Structure 1
Amino acid sequence: MPRRSRLRTALVVVASVVVAALLATTLLAAVVLRRPLPEGSGEETVPGLGEEVRVSRDARGVPTIVARTAEDLFAGQGYVSAQDRFFEMDYRRHVTAGRLSELVGENEEALAADMVIRTMGWRRVAEQEWELLPADARRYLEAYAAGVNAYLDGRDTAAIAMEYTVLGQRVPVERPERWDPVDSLAWLKAMAWDLRANYDDELARALTYQSVPDVARVEQLFPAYPQDRNLPILDAASVAQQAAQTVAADVDLTEVLGEADLQEALAAADRALAAVPHLVGEGDGVGSNSWVVAGEHTASGAPLLANDPHLSISAPGIWSQVGLRCAQVDDACPFDVSGFALAGLPGVVIGHNADLAWGLTNLGADVTDFFLERVVDGEVVVDGRREPLEVRTETIRVAGGEDVELVVRATRHGPLVSEVLDVDGVSRVPVPEGAPGRRFEVALSWTALQPGRTAEAVLAMMTAQDADDVAAAAALLDVPSQNIVFATTDGHIGYQAPGRIPVRASVPASPVPSDGTWPRPGWDSRYDWQGYVDPAEMPRVVDPAEGFVVAANQAVTPAGLGPFLAEDTDYGYRAQRIRDLLTAEIAAGRPLDAAGMADLQTDQHNPYADVLVPALLEVDLEEPFVAEGQDLLRRWDRVASADSAAAAYLAAVWADLLELTFADDLPDGHAASGDSRWLEVVRTILAEPTSPWWDDRSTPGLVEGRDEILSRALTDARYSLTATLGSRTEDWAWGKLHVAAPEHPVLGGEGIPGVVRSFVNPPAQRVGGGSSVVDATGWDAASGSFAVTSAPSMRMVVDLGDLDSSTWVNLTGTSGHPASPHYDDQLPAWARGEQFAWPFSDAAVEADAVDRQTLVPGQD
C-alpha cells in the first residue's frame, strides 16, 4: 500500500460505516455540520486573560489579534486556533504522541503508526525540550494552552468539531483532554520528520545494491549535484573554504554486509518507518522556493522577498494565516508580526514584522543515519565489547479495544526500528563472516531525537530586526534544518543556514562510505557522529554582490567549500530557472515589483522538456498515429500550462520512460518517482545510447538501447492518453490529468460515501506546473497517476518598501470546519496563481476588517 494510503486507511475505516446513517436527514446533517462553527463577532469571556484582547477578521476570516501583554496575545492566539482548527490540533497531537489508536479505535495501520512513533519517542523528547526553554518561552506556550483550554471549557465534543460526532458512532470518543504546552512542542517533531532529508535516499542506495551489486553503478542513480549548470545558493566568494569530507565510491559492500542480509534488515526498517503518518510533507516536489532581491533592482528601491513552501496538500491546508500585535510594542510585549502559523503552535513560522521579513525552504541537510547493530542477549557490540540496551515498555490505548504493550529498545545510536511492527519480538538477520556475530538489527540516529530549542527559535524570529538577530535565532533552530532568506526595511538582504548538522569522520580504508549516504557499521565507533557543526560556521551571506539570493532546495555551497551539510539535495532546476529569470530582468534594466515576483512564483517552464524533447524528436516513428504525439512536442513552447496537450503527453512519456528503463533494476517500493534526481540521471545517460541502464533485464537474449526505449515510451504514452483523454490530441490537456484535490484526513478518502466526500473535500482544481517546475505541483511518476501530491502550500510576496503592498494566499482557507465559508475560499485563487492583499499597518488592517470580536477576562 502506498505510504499516503496507510494513514488514510487508519482513519476512513472508522467513519465509512456510520456517515450515511449520521447524515440520513438534512436537518441532522445541518446540526452536525454547523453546530461547531464559532462566533466571529461580539464578546467572549476567556478565563485567565489579564486584559481585553481584540480580534478582527478580514473577508477571508484571517484573524489579527491585538493584546496589551505577550501572555494575553498568545492566549488569544490559542483561543482563535481552537475556534478554527481544534480537531486538526487534536489529531496532530494524537499522531505525534503515538496515540492514534486512542482516537480512531482498532485498526492495523493506526497501531503500526503508534508503535513506530512510540519507538522513536517523539513525545518523550518534547517533554525533555520543555525543560530547556527559558522562562518567557514557557509563559508564552502556557498562555497559548490556556487560550485553547478556555475555548474547550463548557463545550461538548459535538460543539467543537463534527469529526468527533462521526467517530463517536463507531468508537468511544472521550471529551478532548486539555491542551498541554508539550503538545505544541511535539508537533515540531512531525515537521522535522517530514523534512528530514536523505533518509529515503540512504535506504534506496542500500536496497538498490541488492539488485545492482555494484556501488559505482548504484551511485549513477544518485549523481553529483550539477554545479556547472545549476548554481548553489552561495558562490565561492560568500563562504570560507573548508575541507569537505570525501569517501571513495568504488567500494565493495559485501566486505561487511551480505547481500540478502542487508536487504532483509533494511527492508524491515523501511516497512516500519513507512507507517509514520505524514502531517506536513510527502511525495515528489516537497521542498520550497524562496528568493530575496535587493532594493537596487526593485521599483520601490526597497527589497522584495518571495516564498512558497511545497508540502503535501490537505483539507484544511497546513498553514493558518494570522496577525499578532502588541498594542504597544516594547520589551515587555515585543511582537508585531503577520504571517503563516501552524495550528497548535504559538507564533508565526514564516512572515514579517515591522522591520524584517523571512522565508524558509528545506535545506536538505543529512540529519539521519541507519546503524547496523549486533545485538546479543540484550546487549549491543561496540568495539569488541558489549553495552546494555536501553529498554522501556510503552502501553498503547485502543479506543474500544484492548491495550497493547510495546517493548522499545535502543542503542547509543538511537531506537532499534527494524521489525518494530512485530510485537512478538524482533527477528535477527544473519551477517556474513567478518562482522561481529551472526545477526544484526537497524538503529536510527536522527538529530530530532535529541532535545532541542526550535520552539524558542520560532519566537526569536518573530522579533528579529537584522542579520545578527537572524543568526541568533538560527543557532536555536535545531530541526528541521531550513534555509532562511531575509530582508529588512532599512535595505539589507541575506541568507542564513541553521540546523543541528552531524559531523561524520572520514574513516580510512572504509569498506562502506562514511559520509552518511549509506548505512553504517554500528559496532565500530569510528562511524559514530563526532559532534555537530558549530552554528558560527554555518553558511551565511549579507548583501551579496549580485543583489539577490535564491534558495530553492539546491546545494548550499560550491563543492569543497563550507561545512559538509549533505550529499543528497534537490538538483537545482527550479532554483536555476528563478536565477535565470531574475538575472534577465536585472540585465534588461527592468525594476522588479511585487506583482512580478508573484508571477514568477507561477512560472511553468518545464525543465523536463529541455532535457527530453531534443532526444525524443530525433526518434524515427513509423506509425503516423504515434507521430501525432511527437508533433505536439515539436510545436510546444515547453510551458506546462493546464491547457497544454504537449505537457500531458510529455508527462505520460516520462512515466513510461522511467518504468521501461529502471523497473527491472529497482527494489519494490523504490520505483523511479521522476523527481529532480531522476531527471539528472536520465540527462546523463541520454548521451550514452548503449548504457546498461537502457537494457531491460526481464527480456533475456535481447539487449535494448536508448532509441528503442524512447520509441517505446513515445508509443505507449500515445496509446495510454488515447484511452484516457481520447484519440484527438487537440482534446488533451495537462490539467485534465494533473489535478490538485486536497482531502480531509478523516472523511475525505475512499470508502466514505460520495456525498460526504464531496462536502468535506474542496472541489478539485485543474492546474499546470509539475515536478521541478517553479510552479511546483509535484506528482509521482511511479504511482500510475498524474494527480498532484505536493504543491505550494501557500504563496507570499513581501514588499519591504510598503508592507501593506505585500500579498499572500493560502492553499485552502483559514478554517478547519468543512461547513465554514472560509474552509476552502482561497483555493480557486491559489489554483489560478492569484494572491490577495496582505494589510499590516493598523489603518490597513482596520479598513480590511469585516468581523470584530472582543475576548474579555473571566474568572478561572
Structure 2
Amino acid sequence: MVVGTAVVVVLVLVAGTTFGVVTGRRPLPQYDGELTLDGLSAEAHVFRDAQGVPQVYAETPEDLFRAQGYVQAQDRFFEMDYRRHVTAGRLSELVGDQEAAINADMVLRTFGWREVAEQELNLLAPETRSYLEAYADGVNAYLEGRHLGEIAVEYTVLGVNVNLDDPEPWEPVDSLAWLKAMAWDLRDNYDDELDRALAYSTLKDPALVDELFPAYAAAGNAPIVDPAELELAAPLEATQTSSGTTAELPPGDDAAFEDPHLAEALEAARQALAAVPVQIARGEGTGSNSWAIAGDLTESGEPLLANDPHLKLTSPGVWAQVGLHCTEVGEACPFDVAGFSFAGFPGVMIGHNADLAWGLTNMGADVTDFFIERVRDDNWLRDGTPGAEVWEPIETRTETIRVEGSSPIDFEVRSTAHGPIISSVMDETEMEAVRHAPTEYQTELGQYEISLAWTALEPGRTADAVFALNLAATPEDVQAAAAVFDVPAQNIVFATTDGHIGYQAPGSIPVRADFPATPRPDGTWPRPGWDARFDWTGYVDPSQMPRVLDPAEGFIVAANQAVLPSGTGPFLTNDWDYGYRSQRIRTLIQQQVDAGRKFSVDDMASIQTDADSRYAEMLVPALLDVDLPDGYQSDGQRLLEDWDGSMDADSAAAAYFAAVWRNLLKETFWDELPESMRPDGSSQWLTVVQGMLGNVSDPFWDDKSTVAVVESRDEILSRALVTARQDLTVELGKDAEDWTWGTLHQLQPPHPLGAGVPGALQQFLEPASRKVGGSSSVVNATSWDAGTGSFAVSSGPSMRMVVDLGHLDRSTWVTVSGVSAHPASSHFEDQLDAWVDGETFGWPFSPTAVEGTAEDELTLVP
C-alpha cells in the first residue's frame, strides 16, 4: 500500500498538482491543545513561538526529556531514523540496494560505532542513563500507532522502491551512536596525514611536501590562549611535547613512501573514509567562530558571548532549537537551559542556562593516526626488528549487511592492535592492486594495509559531559564537564552571569612518544605499525588541558586557530586552521575597544556577518602588478583596483577574485598533486600561496605539463586572471560590471534523499537556492571548494547565537533553515531568509518572555 501511494505521490508532483496538501501535510504534528504522553508523572507544557521553537516545561528531569523526545519525534523523526541507520551501518536497510549505501555500511561496520556506543552506555552516570531512557520513551510514545506516512513524507518517497516496515523503537544507544557521527565529522588532521604521504609519493621531495603544510606561525596569527595566562593544574609530562616541525624523509623502511603499492593502500584508505555519509561537516569550511567579551567592555556591564559553528548546511539543518525548563528549578529538578540540540539526543549541545552560556568550536586536535601495517596472510607485523620479527594474528569478525530488496552481503572486518584495517574495506576489485601486488613487493615483510587509531573508538563519557554543561554555573563546573567530554575535541568558550569569561579545552588527546625518527612520531605522517615506539602511550590528563579565565585584554576568541604557540602546553596537533577568521574577529573587537565604544548584542551579530577577505589583502596587490592588455582581458582586473576586499553577494570584484583564486590554484598545483589532493582553497592554501609570492621561481609555479618550458609566478598569475575573465564571461555575461558574487555563490541545502528523486520532488524536499555573500576563511564563512570547480556553498554558519549575560531575554539566535523537518511545515525554512540577510530572532528564556511570545501551547498529560 505504501509503495502504491508513493508512486501516485511522485506522479502527482511531477504533474504539478498540489502535493503538499495531499500527502506532504499528512505528517504535520499537533502543536496546541492536549495530548497523552504515557510515562509522565505530571503535566508537561510545550510553548512554541512564531518560529515554532519548542520551550518545554516539566516537573522532573525524566518528564522533561521524555517530552523533548516526543517533541523532536514530532518535528524530525525521519532525520533521527536516517542518522541511526547510518551510525549502525544499516543504511541499506532503509534506502535499498545502492552502492553508496552499501559502501557506507561496510565502513561503519568496520568502525563499529554502535558497538562502542553500547559499551559507553554502561560507563555513564545513572542519571544520564535515565535521561536517555526517558528521551527514548518519549520518541516511542510518538511513534506508537502511527503509520509511516503519518510520521514523515520521506518514508512515502522511499516507498517507491523499497518495502519499509514500521520504524523500530528508539533506544538510548541510538542517541549515543549519534555522538560518534558528530565526532567523526569533527575529527581533524587525518586528511593532512594522508595527503602528506600521497604528496610525497608524487613529489619525492620532503621540502616540497613541507611547503604545502606550513607551520601555523607562517600565518602570523594569534593563538587562542596567551601562554602567560595559561592555567594548568599540574606540570606537563615530557612526552606530551611536539618533536618539532622540520620535515624529514618519511620512509619508515627503505623509502616505503615511494612504493607505489603503499600509495595505492593510502588511496584505498581515503576512498573507504570518503564513503562515510557526511552528517555534520567535512572538508573545507568545517570549523566555527566563538568569542566572549568581558562586562567591562559591554553596554550591559555583563559579558556577551557569540558562537556560529561552520558545518554542512542541510535540509533540515543540523540544529534543533529547544528550551528545557523545570517548572520549579531546584535539587530535584535542576534544568533551566535553552539552545541548540541535535535531534536524537536529549539536552542542549550549545546554549545557556540561568548562570552560564557556552559555545563550541572545533579544536582540531590530532585524535586519529594511520598505521601502515605489514600484512602476511592472516598476520600483521608487530615488531619489525631485523632478525627478530614478531607476527601476530589479525583479529577478524564477520558482518552481514542486510540490503532491502536484495541479498545480504557478508564481509570480514580485520583489525590490528592499532585499530580496524580500512584499506581493505572497499570492493575487492578496487583493492586488488594492493592486496595482490607483484611478487617483488610481496617480500617476507608482507604487503601494505592501513589501519586507523581513533580516540572515539574507545568508549567514553561525552554524554555525561553534555548534561554537566547544561547544569554548569561556574568555571569549575565547565572544567569538570570538560574532563569527561572525550570526543569530539572542542574548544569551550564560556561566560557567566556573575561576570567571568573563560576558555577550556576538553577532549581525549593521545600522547605520542617524542624521539628522533623518520617518520616523525608526532602524528604528522602515517606511522609504521611494526615499530612499537610509534604506538600511543596514553592520554593527556584533563588537568593538563589548556584553560584561561578572565584574560587581561578582556576578550577571548576561539575560531579553530592554534590553542597555544608551538611547544607550549600539551601537544595537540601541528595542523591547525591558520587563524585568518580568528585574527579578523580580534581586529574588529580591538578596533571597537580602541574607539572606546561598548559592545552590544547587535555589534556581536555584525561581526558574525563580516565578509572581509584576507585572501584579497594577500593576493590583490600581486594581481594588480600583472600587465594585461587593455580592454577585454583586463576588464576583470580593473574591478580589483577600488575593491575593499569584502566578499559581498552583490560585488562584481568579489566574483572575479574568487574565479582568479580558483584558477590560480588549478594552474599552480593540479599538475603536481594527486587528484584527491586538489587544493580546496582553505586557509592552508592561502598560507602556502602567501609564502610563494615572494619567490617568483618557486618550483610549484612551473607547469609540469608544458614540456621544455619553465613558468614563473607572473606567468601563472596572468593565466589565472585571463582564464577567470573568460570563465565569467561564459557563466555571468560579457559585461564585467554586471557580475555578482551571489550569482555564483549560492546555497541550496541538500536533503539526504534529494539527489535520488525526480527534480520536482527534490524541489519539495529542499529549499530554493539563495544568493549569499561570504566565502572561505572569512568570518561569514560560507565556504566553497575550489578543487571542485564550483562556487556553490558547501558549508557555513549552521546557526548564529549571541547571548547577553546581563539580560538573557535580549539574546538572539537563528538557524540556517527552521525547526521542522517536514517540507510542508511553515517552519521548514522560515529562518533561512533571515539567516541569508544576517538577521536573527529574539531568544526568549524567562517564563514571562516564553509565555509572552508563545503562539501555540501543547499540554502533554499522563
The TM-score with structure 2 as length reference comes to 0.95
2:655 to 625, 648, 653: 648
The equivalent position to 1:390 in structure 2, one of 395, 400, 416, is 395
Name the residue aligned to 2:115: 124
Amino acid at match of 1:769: G
Which of 512, 520, 531 is the aligned partner of 2:538? 531
Partner of residue 709, structure 1: 716
1:107 positional shift: 0.9
| In 1: Cα distance, 2:14 partner to 2:717 partner | 52
1:586 aligns with 2:586: no
CA contact (8 A) 1:374 1:436 kept: no
Query: Whole-Å Cα distance in 2 between the matches of residues 375 and 433 of structure 1?
Result: 12
2:171 aligned with 1:180, yes or no?
Answer: yes
Cα shift at 1:381: 1.6
Alignment of 1:563-712 (within 5 A): 563-712=570-719
| C-alpha contact 2:7 2:160 (8 A) present in aligned 1 | no
Are residue 451 (structure 1) and residue 476 (structure 2) matched? no
- The aligned residue for residue 733 of structure 1 is 740
**Per the alignment, do residues 54 and 619 of structure 1 end up closer, same or farther by CA in structure 2, a change over 3 Å counting?**
same
Aligned match of 1:148:
139
Q: Is the 8 A contact 2:9 2:23 kept in 1?
A: no
Per the alignment, residue 759 of structure 1 pairs with 764
Of stretches 16-25 and 658-667 in structure 1, the one that deviates more from structure 2 is: 16-25
Q: Percent identity?
A: 59
Partner of 1:202: 193
SS of equivalent residue, structure 1 residue 361 = strand
Displacement, 1:196?
0.6
Say which of 792, 797, 800 aligns to 1:795.
800
The answer to whether the 8 A contact 2:248-2:518 is kept is no
Cα displacement (A) at 1:142? 0.1
Residue 29 of structure 1 deviates from its aligned partner by 5.3
Amino acid at match of 1:812: S
**Other-structure match for 1:365:** 365
Structure 1: stretches of 5+ with no match in the other structure: 1-13
Aligned length: 841
Report how far residue 388 of structure 1 moved.
2.2
1:742 alignment partner, SS class: coil
TM-superposed CA distance for 1:368, in Å, is 0.5
Q: Is the 8 A contact 1:206 1:262 kept in 2?
A: no
- Higher mean displacement: 401-410 or 650-659: 401-410
Secondary structure of 1:171's counterpart equals coil
SS of 1:391 mapped into structure 2: strand
Return the alpha-carbon distance in structure 2 between the equivalents of residues 26 and 855 of structure 1: 36
1:743 alignment partner AA:
P
Deviates more, 1:95-104 or 1:209-218: 209-218
Shift of 1:563: 0.4
2:248, 2:520 within 8 Å by CA — same for their partners in 1?
A: no
For 1:109-159, what per-residue CA distance to the aligned partner results, in whole angstroms no more than 9, with x for missing partners? 110000000000011100000010111000000000000000000111110
Deviation sequence 1:172-219 (CA, Å, 0-9, x none):
101000000000000001101101101111111111111101112101
Aligned: 1:233 with 2:240: no
Structure 2 distance, partners of 1:432, 1:628, is: 58
Partners of 1:435 and 1:67 lie apart in 2 by: 67
Contact 2:12 2:19 in 1 (8 A): no
SS at match of 1:387: strand
Q: Secondary structure at the match of 1:310?
A: strand
User: Is the 8 Å Cα contact of residues 381 and 436 (structure 1) preserved in structure 2?
Assistant: no
- Displacement of 1:31 in angstroms is 2.8
Distance 1:717 1:228 in 2: 27
Other structure's SS at 1:407 match: strand
Asked whether the 8 Å contact 1:775–1:792 carries over to 2, the reply is: yes
Q: 1:108 to 1:21 in 2, by over 3 A?
A: farther
How far apart, in 2, do the equivalents of 1:225 and 1:436 lie? 41
Q: 1:479 to 1:105 in 2, by over 3 A?
A: same
Specify the SS of the correspondent of 2:567.
Answer: coil
**1-structure distance, mates of 2:171, 2:16:** 38
How far apart are 1:376 and its partner, in Å? 2.5
Q: Is this contact kept in 1: 2:811–2:842, CA < 8 A?
A: yes
> Which letter maps to 1:236?
P
User: For residues 89 and 407 of structure 2, what CA distance do their matches in structure 1 show?
Assistant: 16
From the superposition, tell whether residues 29 and 700 of structure 1 become closer, same or farther in structure 2 (CA, over 3 Å): same
Shift of 1:435: 8.8
- Larger mean CA deviation between 326-335 and 549-558 belongs to 326-335
Superposition CA RMSD, Å: 1.8
Q: Where do 1:497-508 residues align within 5 Å?
A: 497-508=505-516
1:432 Cα deviation (Å)?
8.3
Maintained 8 Å contact 1:255/1:511: no
**Displacement after TM superposition at 1:256 (Å):** 4.5
Moved over 4 A (4+): 14-18, 21-25, 240-243, 423-427, 429-436
Within 2, Cα distance between the matches of 1:156 and 1:67? 28
Paired AA for residue 600 in structure 2: D
Which residue of the partner structure matches residue 779 of structure 2? 774
| Deviation per residue, 1:650-694 (Å, 9 max, x gap) | 000000000000001110221011000000000000000010010
Give 1:740 shift.
1.2
Partner deviation per Cα, 1:469-495 (whole Å, 9 max, x = no partner): 000000111110000000000000000
C-alpha separation in 1, matches of 2:174 and 2:505 = 27
Task: Say whether 1:138 aligns with 2:129.
Answer: yes
- AA paired with 1:246? S
Letter of the 1:532 counterpart: Y
- Calculate the TM-score normalised by the size of structure 1: 0.96
Q: Is the 8 A contact 2:218 2:687 kept in 1?
A: no
Name the SS of the counterpart of 1:79 in structure 2.
helix
2:488 maps to what in 1?
A: 480
> What residue number does 2:474 align with?
466
Deviation at 1:727, TM superposition (A): 1.0
Does the CA-based 8 Å contact 1:501-1:533 persist in structure 2? yes
Letter in 2 for 1:279: Q
Q: Secondary structure at the match of 2:786?
A: coil
Q: Which amino acid aligns with 1:538?
A: M
The 1-side partners of 2:427 and 2:420 are apart by 15
**Matches of 1:28 and 1:311 in 2, distance apart?**
31
What is the CA-CA distance between 1:375 and the residue it aligns to?
Answer: 2.1
Question: d(CA) in 1 for partners of 2:531 and 2:443?
Answer: 10
Greater displacement, 382-391 / 300-309: 382-391
Distance change >3 Å, CA 499–CA 601, structure 1 → 2: same
Gaps in structure 2 of 5+ consecutive residues: 384-388
1:523 counterpart SS class: coil
Distance, in Å, in 1 between the alignment partners of 2:790 and 2:435 is: 38
Per the alignment, residue 250 of structure 1 pairs with: 248
Q: Equivalent residue for 1:7?
A: none
1:493 matched to 2:515: no
Query: Aligned residue for 1:290?
Result: 290
Q: Which amino acid aligns with 1:742?
A: P
Aligned CA distance change for structure 1 residues 557 and 80 (closer, same or farther; 3 Å): same
How far, CA to CA, are the matches of 1:29 and 1:620 in structure 2?
57
Match of 2:811 in 1: 806
Matched-pair contact (CA < 8 Å) for 2:35–2:859: yes
Cα distance, 1:256–1:131 mapped onto 2, change above 3 Å: farther
CA contact (8 A) 1:640 1:647 kept: yes
Tell me what 1:10 maps to. Answer: none
Please, which of 54, 62, 66 is the counterpart of residue 75 of structure 1?
66
User: C-alpha separation between the residues in 2 aligned to 1:429 and 1:518?
Assistant: 25
Kindly state the Cα deviation for residue 19 of structure 1 after the two structures are TM-superposed. 2.5
> Within 2, Cα distance between the matches of 1:717 and 1:23?
38
Residue 386 of structure 2 corresponds to none
Q: Does the 8 A contact of 1:323 with 1:338 survive in 2? A: yes
**Following the alignment from structure 2 to structure 1, what is the Cα–Cα distance between the partners of residues 684 and 248?**
21
What does the per-residue CA deviation read over 1:88-111, in whole Å, with 9 as the maximum and x for residues that have no partner?
000000000000000011111110
Q: Deviations over 1:714-750 (max 9, x none)?
A: 000011101111111111000010011112211x22x
Distance (whole Å) between structure 2 residues aligned to residue 63 and residue 405 of structure 1: 44
CA distance in 2, matches of 1:81, 1:397: 28
Q: Deviations over 1:764-817 (max 9, x none)?
A: 111111000000000001111101000100000000000000000011000000
